[in-house]
Amino acid sequence: MRVVDDIAHPEMKITLLSWNGKYLLKFEKGDFEQTYKISEMEIGDDKAAKALIDEEFLSAVTNRFQDMRDAFVSTVRRNG
């Protein structure tokens, strides 16, 4: 796995990786992470992969992090 770029963002760590014919967009915030895999054949190059990270997508990623946190806190409360 090769790191292609670290993309600056104030709320989360964003890394673009290349591995096994795919680009991976990896988002990390606190103890949680999300990874999106995109075929290199489908997207073309790393510039096109980075272009996918627009405000609407970042908003969805942020909301998903909140959902992940809520689900985890709920299970800890039920089972902890």
Which pLDDT band, with edges at 50, 70 and 90, does 62 fall under? Answer: very high
Round to whole Å and give the CA distance between 4 and 46. Answer: 8
Q: Model confidence over 22-59: pLDDT tens digits? A: 999 999 999 999 999 999 999 989 999 999 999 999 99
In terms of residue numbers, what domain contains 30? Answer: 2-79
Number of domains in the chain: 1
**Mean pLDDT computed over 4-17:** 97
Token pair listed for 48: 């096109």
Pairing mode, strands 13-19 and 2-7: antiparallel
pTM of the predicted structure, to 2 decimals: 0.93
